[in-house]
Structure 1
């Protein structure tokens, strides 16, 4: 029971940090391009994880596994975060955040062709409920109107869920220690991001507030939150005890976006997010019953 309490504490800490990142994304992107933000955040996260790898004596494990890191690093951090930040750059934070929450359902659908898992009618029903929420958000409540306010932004947000789901599904065959694997991925991704930055917009000094926002994203969203979540998952007696904590994040994210960024809270976001969370909740219940 002590271990479960510790696991829940770590899980709550991770969720608390993830609840702030939508706001941090919007604050940072008000100053800089998605590529600049990505580079700063990736550099900070790579340095943090590298220091932890050394401190925990895992450097010898990092001598192998680079073939996996070659493709995994292209997916995370490069492709996933660039697409995600581009979505946040185009959409209100509340919409990008809510749409990104469908990655769990995307993963369940993709597990059928990739892992050979079966999809029950209940799974499909849960997916339909959640994606009805996506439609409400994408149309901003005008559900019979197919003229989206920002179709590219919506497409980018949904593409980020596809990349993230694919990454975790392919990761099921990854034998690397999670912290080592994440550091190796960033070791591959950071040089690519550096080249893209130099060939593209270059890096411009936007002031200490912009730098602070970028450092915050790298330190907490990509770094410390990941470590807390890994500790929670590895210590808990039953995974559902911590995975259900993720449902606490969206309401807090919406509140912070309203208070800090000043985004007006749209009724379509509340309705769409409620449908997405109901779909995810049903999916969790289905998994629990199967187990």
Structure 2
């Protein structure tokens, strides 16, 4: 599911402004999560979350879906899909950086090696392999893509001590964040006019990127006896995503993208191996 969304982002952004896509996708995601939790008879957990910690879930809602997707979609609007989706995968490396000041983690040599691989991969992708020239397709787009990783890592740091149900927490944050998205969209680019094709594309993003994929991921982690093995499966996603980008967007995949993405994944695997070793 997640490997298809980079393609869906670009197709949606051909018809919608980034903030309009955030609005429509978030609305769809809220409906999907409401249906899922209603079917599971756990919808009452959302009310409990909001009642017990309203400001906390409002803060989460401001970060995700509002800020994170507004910045991410703006990056996709400026960059080729292969660049934006590859850069976005460095969020886990950004998380290890933010964990030092906010969670008291120590920055080890292995962390620095992981970051070196990851961010060198970013430069390779962003410059199309022309590292010495440092020519970017869109420096603003690269900056926004990296900013999205900072926002997403901050979101997970805020979630580290949240013991509430993951899906109920997500819906609580989306419900409280949605009015902010609505106001921001109305006063910035205006509400989207009805366009069946655009709304269908945005709905796909809401159903899968923000909804069902997250629920499946949480369920997979709960059913697994080995979280590390499940987590490693996520590294299939960026490479599979390149296939969809090439096939549906007719975007030629450059060798620099494969090289840079491989470097990012190596950095992520090094970082994950370090975390696994520390836990054992």
Q: Could you say which TM-score interval applies, normalised by the shorter chain?
A: over 0.9
How far is 1:146 from its partner? 2.9
Structure 1 segments, 4+ long, off by >4 Å, are: none
CA–CA distance in 2 between the matches of 1:18 and 1:151? 25
How far is 1:173 from its partner? 1.6
Structure 2 segments unaligned to the other structure (5+ residues): none
Give 1:234-273 correspondences, 5 Å limit. Answer: 234-273=222-261
The match for 1:75 is: 63
How far is 1:210 from its partner? 1.3
The match for 2:127 is: 139
Indicate whether 1:45 and 2:13 are aligned.
Answer: no
Q: What SS does structure 2 have at the residue aligned with 1:265?
A: coil
The match for 1:7 is: none
Deviations 1:103-158 (A, max 9, x none): 00100111111110112101111110111101111222111123322110000000
Q: TM-score, normalised by structure 2?
A: 0.95
How far is 1:34 from its partner? 0.6
CA–CA distance in 2 between the matches of 1:190 and 1:218? 13
Calculate the aligned-residue CA RMSD, in Å. 1.3
How far is 1:206 from its partner? 5.9
Conserved in 1, the CA contact under 8 Å of 2:94 and 2:153?
Answer: yes
How far is 1:186 from its partner? 0.6
Give 1:46-195 correspondences, 5 Å limit. Answer: 46-61=30-45, 62-63=47-48, 64=51, 65-195=53-183
The match for 2:201 is: 213
CA–CA distance in 1 between the matches of 2:40 and 2:61? 22
Structure 1 segments unaligned to the other structure (5+ residues): 1-16
Conserved in 1, the CA contact under 8 Å of 2:79 and 2:137?
Answer: no
Q: What SS does structure 1 have at the residue aligned with 2:27?
A: helix
CA–CA distance in 1 between the matches of 2:142 and 2:4? 21
Q: TM-score, normalised by structure 1?
A: 0.91
